[in-house]
Amino acid sequence: MNSKLKETILNPILKGNPITVLVLGICSSLAVTVELKGALVMALSVTIVTGLSSLICSLIRNTIPNRVRIIIQLVVVALMVILVDQFLKAFEATYSIDKQLSVYIGLIITNCIVMGRIEAFALGNKPIPSLLDGLASGVGYGLILIIVAFFRELFGSGTLFGFPVLSAIGYTNNGLVILPPMALILLGCIIWAHRSFDKDLQEK
């Protein structure tokens, strides 16, 4: 049981990482990784949404009519996303980040990771493992987001979390790094590194 739980938590972060292995959620990871702060808030939001919607869907999994299960899942996910958005807007500290992330918080609804985990895991498992699986998927997604954002903020704006690092020693900002194509190139590099590190991921 213990090793099974461990597997549930570690799999979405490493061997089954939503971005580098399943290649899901690419769109939002291009859009919100310009700055670390935004990426961190996005990572937390996705983690909360995947975790709680997996939990709720798992709790009601035996009552959901099979023909409308996707719609019910969507309603649950939409509820969680709107709640997260409302709370981000309500607090002074997160208001400006929510403004900066604008539509991408709302677009978590369409993030394939959320629906994918509910459909593949939560509907067939008990609530607690489902919650952990959802949270771990969000962490796996957020981890990649933060790695990409680290490089993009460092080389694009010369700062980390808004504090000058490279810009303090006279670095000229690289405009390409700020634009979405660079996120795609960085993601490619991360996938490459991940696959060469983990031989199981390579197709024969």
Partner 1 sequence: MNTNSNTYTVIYTTLVCVLVAAVLAFVSQTLGPKQAANEKAETISQILTAAQFGEKEHWKEIGNAETIKFFEENLAGEPVITSTSQLKALNYKIKDGSEDLELPVYTFKNGTIVLPVYGAGLWGPVWGYIALNSDCRTIAGAYFDHESETPGLGGKIKDDPSFRAQFAGKVIDFEDVKPFNIVKGGAPEGKQNAIDAITGATMTSKGLDAAINTWLKAYDVELAQFFAAISEETEENVTIEEETSDEQ
Q: Taking CB under 8 A as the rule, does residue 83 contact partner 1?
A: yes
DSSP-derived letter for residue 171 is P
Distances 121 to 8, 12, 37 between C-alpha atoms, Å:
10, 11, 30
Distances 148 to 26, 79, 169, 176, 180 between C-alpha atoms, Å:
12, 29, 22, 14, 11
Contact pattern for partner 1 over residues 117 through 156, marking x by CB under 8 A: ---------------------------------------x
Q: Taking CB under 8 A as the rule, does residue 79 contact partner 1?
A: yes
Residue 34 or 139 with smaller CB distance to partner 1: 34
- Quick one: which segment of 2-10, 21-29, 96-104, 129-137 binds partner 1 (CB under 8 A)? 96-104
Q: Taking CB under 8 A as the rule, does residue 66 contact partner 1?
A: yes
Which of residues 5, 7, 95, 161 is near partner 1 by CB under 8 A?
A: 95
Number of H helices, E strands in the chain: 10, 2
Q: Taking CB under 8 A as the rule, does residue 161 contact partner 1?
A: no
Residue 23 or 168 with smaller CB distance to partner 1: 168
For 140, other C-beta atoms within 10 Å of its C-beta total: 30
DSSP 22-60: S--SHHHHHHS-SSHHHHHHHHHHHHHHHHHHHHHHHHT
The distance of closest approach from Cβ of residue 101 to partner 1 in the complex, given in angstroms and rounded to an integer, is 12
Q: Taking CB under 8 A as the rule, does residue 63 contact partner 1?
A: yes
Residues with Cβ < 8 Å from 128, sequence gap 6 or more?
Answer: none
Q: Summarize as ranges the residues that interact with partner 1 (CB under 8 A).
A: 34, 62-68, 71-72, 75-76, 78-79, 82-83, 86-87, 89-92, 95-96, 99, 102, 156, 173, 175, 178-179
